[in-house]
Structure 1
Amino acid sequence: MINLTNIEKVYRTSSIETLALNNINLNIRKGEFVSIMGPSGCGKSTLLNIMGLLDEPSKGTVELDGQRVSTYRDKELARLRNEKIGFIFQSFHLINDLSVVDNVEIPLLYRSTNGKPRQTYAKEALEKVGLSNRIKHFPKQLSGGQKQRVAIARAIVGQPEIILADEPTGNLDSAMGNEIMNILQTLNNEGATIIMVTHDENMAKRTHRLIRLFDGTQVQ
């Protein structure tokens, strides 16, 4: 499904060159639940951004469903991100001035989905994560765990094939972290391919496969 070959990512300024990823080779199969671990600054989020088509490698090839990503134009990449990939972030990235249901609808706005179906899909996604009783609330009225569930509902509202989760339990206590993992495992059981960055060994053990990075290099 996602194939990375000889991926290198270099960040350059006028005086400094930083090698963030070095010779990464990965194949993520459809339906897998994969975790990525490593110390801070080792390239985990950079790798996730490249797989999510948010960033380009300096060298190497990225293939999605057998097609080289480099062949796509910017508009095509934006469409792929919107239709095939759902993103979950550690710090939620909710819009405080929008209600819960309005936050969840955002990906559908970019698809020009009409208002009534859009709200129906958003409510269905919120029901899936156990927040159907909070649709009119605002983010400031929610706990951290509830905010993350809203973020998950937003990620899945368009029924993406791939979910990329960057430290989805990082800001939560262990009990709420386990609840979020239960939701992710349910989504994976229903067919979603999930790639999760985490610092938590216990969470990583609940996934199918663990990929370790150190200083931008894949550890065998």
Structure 2
Amino acid sequence: MIKLSNIEKVYQTSNIETLALNNINIDIKKGEFVSIMGPSGCGKSTLLNIMGLLDEPSTGTIAIDNKPVEKFTDKDLAYLRNQKIGFIFQSFHLINDLSILDNVEIPLLYRASTNKSRREAAKEALEKVGLSNRMKHFPNQLSGGQKQRVAIARAIVGNPEIILADEPTGNLDSAMGNEILNILLQLNAAGSTIVMVTHDENMAKKTHRLIRLFDGSQVS
């Protein structure tokens, strides 16, 4: 599903060269739920961004469904992201001036779909995360846990095969964090391939596999 081979990522300024990722080799199989753990600054989010085709590696290769993406145009990459990948961010990234329903519809605006089909898909996604009664509310009327559920609904509205979650429970208390993890486990059981960055060892243990990073390198 996602294969990274010999990935390195170097950030360079006029005076400093920083090796963010060093010789990363990961093969995520279809239907897996994989956690990525490591201390702050070890390259977890950089790795997730590369998996999601939001960032390019300095060296190495990326393949999605056995198709190398190095020669893809920006338009091809944007299409692949929109069709196959759903993103969940720690800070939600909701638009406060839009209703919850409108926020969830956003990924579908880049597809050739009708207003009616977009609206129905957004309603269905919100029902899956238990927020069908909040569709007309705005983000500032929701709790942190509810905002994260909206972010999950937005990530799954286009039925992506892959869900990439960057600290999806990081801003939540333990009870709400477990609620969010249970939603992800349900999505995985329904067939979604999920990669989750987390600091929570107990949550990581509930996934299929754990990848640890330290100073940009895999340590397990």
* Range of TM-score over shorter length: over 0.9
Q: Kindly indicate whether residue 59 of structure 2 is the aligned counterpart of residue 59 of structure 1.
A: yes
After TM superposition, the structure 1 stretch with the greater mean CA deviation from structure 2, 64-73 or 41-50, is 64-73
The 5 A counterparts of 1:131-150 are: 131-150=131-150
In the alignment, which residue of structure 2 is the partner of 1:176? 176
In the alignment, which residue of structure 2 is the partner of 1:69? 69
What is the rounded CA distance, in whole Å, between the counterparts of 2:117 and 2:111 in structure 1? 12
Q: Give how far 1:114 is off.
A: 1.1
After TM superposition, the structure 1 stretch with the greater mean CA deviation from structure 2, 31-40 or 104-113, is 104-113
What is the rounded CA distance, in whole Å, between the counterparts of 1:181 and 1:14 in structure 2? 42
Q: Kindly indicate whether residue 127 of structure 2 is the aligned counterpart of residue 123 of structure 1.
A: no
1:139-187, Cα deviation, whole Å (9 max, x unpaired): 0000000000000000000000000000000000000000000000000
In the alignment, which residue of structure 1 is the partner of 2:40? 40
| 1:119 partner amino acid | R
SS of equivalent residue, structure 1 residue 70: coil
Q: Kindly indicate whether residue 48 of structure 2 is the aligned counterpart of residue 24 of structure 1.
A: no
Identity, % of aligned positions: 80
The 5 A counterparts of 1:5-20 are: 5-20=5-20
Q: Give how far 1:109 is off.
A: 0.3
Q: Give how far 1:103 is off.
A: 0.0
Q: Give how far 1:112 is off.
A: 3.3
Query: What is the TM-score of this pair, normalised by structure 2?
Result: 0.99
What is the rounded CA distance, in whole Å, between the counterparts of 1:66 and 1:92 in structure 2? 31
What is the rounded CA distance, in whole Å, between the counterparts of 1:127 and 1:159 in structure 2? 14
1:93-132, Cα deviation, whole Å (9 max, x unpaired): 0000000000000000011321111000000000000000
Query: What is the TM-score of this pair, normalised by structure 1?
Result: 0.99
What is the rounded CA distance, in whole Å, between the counterparts of 1:187 and 1:47 in structure 2? 22
SS of equivalent residue, structure 1 residue 187: helix
What is the rounded CA distance, in whole Å, between the counterparts of 2:61 and 2:183 in structure 1? 32
| 2:131 partner amino acid | L
What is the rounded CA distance, in whole Å, between the counterparts of 1:3 and 1:86 in structure 2? 17
| 1:173 partner amino acid | D
In the alignment, which residue of structure 2 is the partner of 1:155? 155
| 2:84 partner amino acid | K
What is the rounded CA distance, in whole Å, between the counterparts of 1:116 and 1:66 in structure 2? 35
Q: Kindly indicate whether residue 116 of structure 2 is the aligned counterpart of residue 97 of structure 1.
A: no
In the alignment, which residue of structure 1 is the partner of 2:215? 215
Q: Give how far 1:5 is off.
A: 0.6
Q: Give how far 1:71 is off.
A: 2.0
What is the rounded CA distance, in whole Å, between the counterparts of 2:13 and 2:195 in structure 1? 30
Where has structure 1 moved over 4 Å in runs of 4 or more?
A: none
| 1:155 partner amino acid | A
In the alignment, which residue of structure 1 is the partner of 2:111? 111
In the alignment, which residue of structure 1 is the partner of 2:49? 49
Give RMSD over aligned pairs. Answer: 0.5
Aligned residues: 220
After TM superposition, the structure 1 stretch with the greater mean CA deviation from structure 2, 92-101 or 65-74, is 65-74
What is the rounded CA distance, in whole Å, between the counterparts of 1:111 and 1:199 in structure 2? 35
